[in-house]
Amino acid sequence: MSTEKEKMLAGKMYSPADPQLLKERAEAHQLTQEFNGPVSYERRYAILKELLGTMGETIGIEPSFQVDYGYNIHVGKNFFANFNCVFLDVCPIRFGKNVMLGPGVHIITAEHPLNPTERNSGYEFGRPVTIGDNCWIGGNVTIIGGVTLGDNVVVAAGATVTKSFGDNVVIGGVPARVLREIKIEE
């Protein structure tokens, strides 16, 4: 029989009220509370190393930064997230290399059932998010679970990304759609 954590990571219905998950969220929230406080750059970097699942070289995340668990977040090298980003990481969130996020970006892997009886049960599920290399996510963008963005994608400020997009596009709007293609010169 699977634990609630195993169900969560597999994208199946699980109880977020499970004692193990409550403890792990509390630990992550304690770390982000310290990260968001008046601490040195060196301490912030050490907190990220403890909090995140994996991280590449040369990353920067500005406070305030909020997560559910942290260990489901995987960041490639040369990553930057501006102020007030929120990553609800009940399933993996993967960033390629050279990714930049504007302020107020929300990446939300957690989802709730549409059926009100199921939703009122307190159970939820999640779907992963993957963001390719060389992506620029504008300010106040929301990306929901199940989305994959290819390489060299630019997401216009204020967009809500509800589906996946391939490489070399500028997307924007609510819901996001392709605004133009990006010509990559070799």
Q: Which amino acid is at 158?
A: G
**Angle CA 17–20–21, to nearest 5:** 50
Has residue 1 got a pLDDT over 80? Answer: no
Burial class (CB in 10 A: 0-12, 13-18, 19+), 72: buried
d(CA 95, CA 98): 9
pLDDT of residue 185: 82
Given the residues 29, 74, 106, 112, the one annotated as active site:
112
pLDDT of residue 186: 72
Across residues 84-111, what is the average pLDDT?
98
Whole-model pTM? 0.95
Has residue 57 got a pLDDT over 80? Answer: yes
Confidence of residue 19 (pLDDT cuts 50, 70, 90): very high
Helix H segments across 57-139? 116-120
d(CA 39, CA 27): 18
Fold of 4-181: UDP N-Acetylglucosamine Acyltransferase; domain 1 (2.160.10)
Alpha-carbon distances, residue 112 vs 50, 59, 68, 121, 123 (angstroms): 29, 32, 15, 10, 7
161: Cβ contacts below 8 Å, ≥ 6 apart: 141, 142, 143, 144, 147, 149, 155, 171, 175, 176
For this structure, is 112 an active site residue? yes
Q: What is the pLDDT of residues 157-172, one digit of tens each?
A: 999 999 999 999 999 9
